[in-house]
Amino acid sequence: MGLLRAIQFLTILPLPVAPPADAGALGRASAYYPLVGLLLGILLALAAGAAGALLPPLLVAPVVVVAGAVLTGGLHLDGLADSADGLLSPGRTPAERRAILKDSAVGTFGVVALVAVLLLKTLAVASMPVAAHGWAFVAAATYARWAMLGTLALFPAPHAGLGQTFRAGVGAPQLVGGSLATLAIALALGWWAGEPPLTRAFVGAGALLAFGLWALAAAVGGLLGLLALRRLGGATGDVHGAVCECSEALGLVAVAAATWR
């Protein structure tokens, strides 16, 4: 049930599951976020394969990026835009910044963040070999959802309310469970990355790439979580969405860099 709730919350996939009565139940389902990332990565790989069979290569990357946004209902992109406006606005108190996050209007920083992330994703996918697409989508999507779980577990919500109730359901069991699932996926990715074009340059190169991307996602989550703690008083749902989008974009950029010759 927890996995189905996590899929229902993070994607638009129709599932025969009634929404939970309390936010805490949604928080407890966060242990399955990395598995939702795995599912999304597989779906994006299939979308890339279908697009590649029907469209010119130059169009595959934007189609896949749009597909990712559609599959998640734009949930994390909305959080990215709001977080950029709230976190980057100069000369504000934490309360004022939180008010900006609640404003439905998108400001300058939000627009810049959206354009930057979508452009980075598109160019990264377009720059890497087609044979690396499946690996890249699975790795980036999985690690990004794990990073979101990490910020949920380690950084407090800034004020009482639904977010705090949601976070109350996220604790050590969720973080440990999600991390073990991510470890299993990372080991599989390390083995998979042993084949070209992801490189066989030296023994252990595949594992280095797989675990290096995981470390990158952890760094993104930690840095944004600390910034939110300082400027907002805690990490909001929008911040968690920003962590996911930034981790995913940088993960794809890292794969593009690793496979570039």
| pLDDT, position 202 | 41
Residues in the chain: 261
Q: Is the dihedral of CA 142, 143, 146, 151 positive or negative?
A: negative
Give the pLDDT means over successive 10-residue stretches in the chain (261 positions).
90 81 79 97 97 92 97 95 91 83 85 98 95 94 98 86 73 95 92 61 66 96 96 92 98 92 67
pTM over 0.85: yes
Cα 126 to chain centroid, rounded: 19
| pLDDT, position 200 | 47
Per the CB < 8 A criterion, the answer to whether 192 and 45 are in contact is no
| pLDDT, position 162 | 58
Q: Which domain holds residue 158?
A: 2-259
| pLDDT, position 148 | 96
| pLDDT, position 161 | 58
Residues 6+ apart with CB under 8 A from 1: 17
Number of domains in the chain: 1
Please give, one letter per residue, the 3-state secondary structure of 210-227.
Answer: HHHHHHHHHHHHHHHHHH
Question: Exposure string (b/e) for 153-192, b if CB count within 10 Å is 16 or more?
Answer: bebebbeeeebebbbebbeeebbebbbebbeebbeebbeb
Alpha carbon distance 174, 120 (integer Å): 31
| pLDDT, position 204 | 57
- For residue 25, the tally of other CB atoms under 10 A from its CB is 16
Per the CB < 8 A criterion, the answer to whether 145 and 243 are in contact is no
Q: Match 């979580």 to its residue by tokens.
A: 225
